[in-house]
Amino acid sequence: MIIHIDMDAFFASIEQVINPRLKGRPLIVGSRAHKMRTVVCAASYEAKALGIYSGMPSKDAFSICPNLEFVVADQAKYIWTSEKIFELLKGWGFALNYASVDEFQMDILEHPEPLKLVAQIQEQIYANFNITASVGIAKNWLLAKLASKINKPNGVTLINEANFKDILSATPLTKACGMAGKTGQILLAQGLKTCWDLYLNLPGFFAENPGKFEDIPEKSKSIGHSYTLPRAQTNPRFISAWIRVLSEMVGERLRQKNLVAKTIQLWLNIPEKGDFLAQKTFAIAANDSYEIYLRTLKIMTGMAQKRPKIRALGVTASHLSPQEYLPLLIEEKRREALVKAIDKINCRFGDNSIFPAQVILTRK
């Protein structure tokens, strides 16, 4: 049995807890500081009741409610809270997995009283964070996720054999995972309206199950690449270019394995001084090659010797975890889309079909 825990209006609820003045007020969280030139990242339930929703241009939201409260998104704050909730949930001792920054999946096996367990979990979340969660219970993750959306906020829905048809018949097709976009619109145009219609036409859809929460990072403790230069070099632009090359390689492998890393390590072989080895752990995990490169440069600035003669170098990523957080801000979403597009092109036409211009410096 799987339970899917979906935090209610997560970003907006956190902001209302931090600032009690916002409690009970229609509120939106925006991706940019200019409240009229952004999009709605999240809306409180008071705002949702007015017809305001995530993804809506903020100017449209303010046209609906001129007195709307506005807060700029703070990703670090939401991720910190998410991690604390994850730690709390681990205390129940069941296999636990992130679905996103505000959604968690727990395999409770054949627990004899799943409704009682869920009630305890909801109580603990509220007691510790003063925010609510809606929970779905079903035989697999897809049905459990669907169930979590049915009785929001702070609700519980159990889908079993007895109510399976009734619940799916009463639930719009677009509530199912993956059906909110173009795919759902195509099926709606073909006359499918409910999740029951989806089940009848695609009977295997709700049987999907991702497995038993395999611990992917255990298979890869770290990912790194190194290179020995033809001769020792002191040119900082040349060294930086090679760090960029190695960072690109590390980032690509992380993304292939759907992993992110919090810790970056830099190794330099300096013939006159010996090896330099340093690492830094960052608050937010990453697999973007450019971000890994910037973090590696930060480590290098800690060197006492500012222009060392370097013969070999390496970049390694560790403290790995599955990539579970979805990008929150519109700029991050654009960056992720760009990285995915580049990976796709390089996969189809060969490595380095597209590469950073800086890399050219290593070929001279």
* Plot region of 362 (φ>0 → left; ψ -120 to 50 → alpha; else → beta): alpha
Which amino acid does the sequence have at 208?
A: E
Separation CA 301–CA 313 (nearest Å): 15
Contacts of 4 (CB under 8 A, 6+ apart): 99, 103, 104, 105, 135, 136, 137, 138, 141, 144, 145, 147, 148
Task: State the DSSP code for 177.
Answer: T
What are residue 274's phi and psi, to 5 degrees? 100, -160
- Is 291 catalytic? The answer is no
Task: State the DSSP code for 279.
Answer: E
Separation CA 194–CA 172 (nearest Å): 4
Cβ(107)–Cβ(212) below 8 Å? yes
Q: Which entry of 46, 103, 252, 291 is annotated as an active-site residue?
A: 103
Kind of pairing between the strands at 156-158 and 133-138: parallel
Q: List residues with catalytic annotation.
A: 103
